[in-house]
Structure 1
């Protein structure tokens, strides 16, 4: 699925959010590896679960064609600095929901990019008739937890001691969901 491009200016930074296109595949492959190396908030260490250019081309193609999927990128001065995906399910019993994930380069934290990617995804999901959005977040990611709660996500469960971080300790993963009543 595709959305209309949206432009934002936050704290002097101008950026746009748009649907991913095939030509973004190379840059997305590079940006994802970089984001994975900048934070432990995601599931992967740098270089793990690598998606190459062909892999991103296929994801973008599928997400553009599937009405229950959405792949967005955040762009600053022509460069991708973040992305998000909503992935639906073709099974009838799960066709009412999508899984949401987001990543933003650390240099661009604090400009509302992740939040605006989520808001655009929520707007798309609501207009498309998606009833439920789910996501997972590490318990230590306080900023994300506050944003998700403010935008209507509620804690639905906890996967205790689910993730091993670099300090050698285990941390829990919070499962959150947002239900669209309309």
Structure 2
């Protein structure tokens, strides 16, 4: 699905949230690799489950055409600095829900970029007849958990000792959901 551009101004920077286009594929491939190396909040180590340019081109094409998918990017001065995806399911029993994921370059944390990507995704979902948005978040990612709760998400389950991080310890993953009545 394609949405209208949304301009944002937070803490002194202007950025735009817009739908991804095929021409973004090269930058997105490099950006995802960089972000994976900047935080342990995501599922992947840097380089794992790498998506190359043709892979991103296909994802963008599919997401642009599928009314149950949404691929957004955040752009500062023509530079993509974060992105999010909502992915629906073709199975009838799950057709009412989508899964949300987001990542933002560490240097742009604190500018509400993830928040605005999520808010645009929620607006799109609510106006598209989607009833539920789900996401997973590492238990130690307190800022994200507070944001999700503020935007109507609730903890629905805990995957105990789900992730092994670089400190050698296992951490829980929180499964969260937001249901639109």
**Aligned residue in 1 for 2:58:** 58
Cα offset, 1:177, TM superposition: 0.2
Alpha-carbon distance, 1:57 to partner: 0.1
Correspondence for 1:123: 123
Confirm whether residue 49 of structure 1 aligns to residue 42 of structure 2: no
Instruction: Name the CA distance, whole Å, in 1 between partners of 2:65 and 2:90.
Output: 13
Q: After the TM superposition, which residues 22-41 of structure 1 pair with which residues of structure 2 at under 5 Å, given as runs?
A: 22-41=22-41
Q: Determine the structure 2 residue equivalent to 1:148.
A: 148
User: What is the TM-score when the length of structure 1 is the normalising length?
Assistant: 0.99
Distance in structure 2 (CA, Å) of the matches to 1:138 and 1:22: 30
> Which contiguous aligned blocks of 4+ residues in structure 1 show a shift greater than 6 angstroms?
none
Match status 1:176 vs 2:176:
yes
How far did residue 49 of structure 1 move?
A: 0.6
Q: State the Cα deviation string for residues 76-110 of structure 1 (Å, max 9, x = none).
A: 00010000000000111110000000000000000
Residue 5 of structure 1, CA deviation: 0.2
Find the residue that maps to 1:38 and give its secondary structure. coil
Deviation for aligned residue 1:160: 0.2
Indicate yes or no: 2:93 matched with 1:111: no
CA shift at 1:165, angstroms? Answer: 0.3
Structure 2 stretches lacking a partner, 5+ long: none
Q: Matched residue pairs, number? A: 181
CA distance in 2, matches of 1:52, 1:79: 19
1:148 Cα shift?
A: 0.2
The CA deviation at 1:141 is 0.3
Question: For 1:25-62, what per-residue CA distance to the aligned partner results, in whole angstroms no more than 9, with x for missing partners?
Answer: 00000000000000000000111110000000000000
What is the aligned partner in structure 1 of residue 85 from structure 2? Answer: 85
1:130-162 deviations in whole A, cap 9, x for unaligned?
000000000000000000000000000000000
The answer to whether structure 1 residue 7 and structure 2 residue 7 are counterparts is yes
Task: For structure 1, list consecutive stretches of 5 or more residues without a partner in the other structure.
Answer: none
